[in-house]
Amino acid sequence: MKSSRTGREGLTAYLFLSPWLIGIVLLTLGPMLYSAYLAFTSYDLLSPPRWIGLDNFRRMFTADPRYLSSVRVTLVYVVVSVPLLLVLSMVLALLLNKGIRFLSGYRALFYLPSLMGASVAIAVLWRQIFGGTGLVNQVLSLFGITRGSWVGSPGTALWTIVTLNLWAFGATMIIFLAGLRQVPVELHEAAAVDGAGPIRRFFSVTLPLMTPLIFFNLLLDTIHAFQAFTGAFVVSRGSGGPADSTLFYTLYLYQQGFAELKMGYASAMAWTLVIVLAAFTGFLFLTAKRWVYYGDER
């Protein structure tokens, strides 16, 4: 009697779960498996896929300089923008953690860019701000500095996208802020009694207790940075230019799949990215044992 009731409850539970289950099988797992198959084919969307074994992967690493260029651009972006974002978010969270007036107003204000996110509209605005006659150059000209377009020059275009990413610091900052509120005041007081100044207290008390959240944000922001697309697409108008200086991995993947109709190659690129991200995540988890502290547990 009891087991039949449990079984009925289980069935009901699965019935309620079925929309999600059907969705994940039909719209996620199925397509994923199919794209894994496509990675080993030559497929132009309009003709049937043709099996070519590892040719797509071989071409990627040995015969496609633009692919390597996209990897280089993306790595520079990840290595520069993620640490900058973490530091900026932490600094602002520390400032907002003080008992200053209008604190909640500042918090809302600082979070606002994240609500808008790195959207298309903001990226379009970025193009205007960093253009030859944009706001940045107009301000610089007040100090007698004249220079050309920031988005139009290969030397600076990538950095405008890094700033676009930094601008949406709110989500990372809010997580840090929540963590800072949890740091026990008595630890700070004890350290202060022992003669520790604010900087020493930050590095010896706050920072170690914040490592789980730093780990969390590092992971999320890095994955996000590897996937960056919108900013580069809008700022370079889909070209990855000037001179491939903003050719992000996902942008090149998009070009290959939808402009050049090389969907097999694009699938191979997508799966390579998945594997790299999985490896990177695994690596971070391995290193986490050495630098992430969970309370009294090491």
Residues that bind another protein (CB under 8 A): 27-28, 30-32, 34-36, 38, 43-49, 65, 131-133, 148-149, 151-154, 216, 219-220, 223, 226-227, 237-239, 241-244, 250, 253, 255, 257-261, 263, 266-267, 270-271, 273-274, 277-278, 281
Integer Cα distance of 188 and 134 in angstroms: 46
Q: Residue length, the chain?
A: 298
Min CB(47)–another protein separation in Å: 5
Min CB(149)–another protein separation in Å: 5
Residue with tokens 């920031």: 150
Burial (CB count within 10 angstroms: exposed 0-12, middle 13-18, buried 19+), residue 177: buried
Min CB(228)–another protein separation in Å: 12
CB of 90 within 8 A of CB of 217? no
Min CB(276)–another protein separation in Å: 10
Integer Cα distance of 242 and 150 in angstroms: 11
Min CB(256)–another protein separation in Å: 9
Task: Give 206's DSSP letter.
Answer: I
CB-wise, 115 or 278, nearer to another protein?
278
CB-wise, 152 or 188, nearer to another protein?
152
CB-wise, 134 or 170, nearer to another protein?
134
Instruction: Output b/e per residue, 57-74; b: 16+ Cβ within 10 A.
Output: beebeeebeebebbbebb
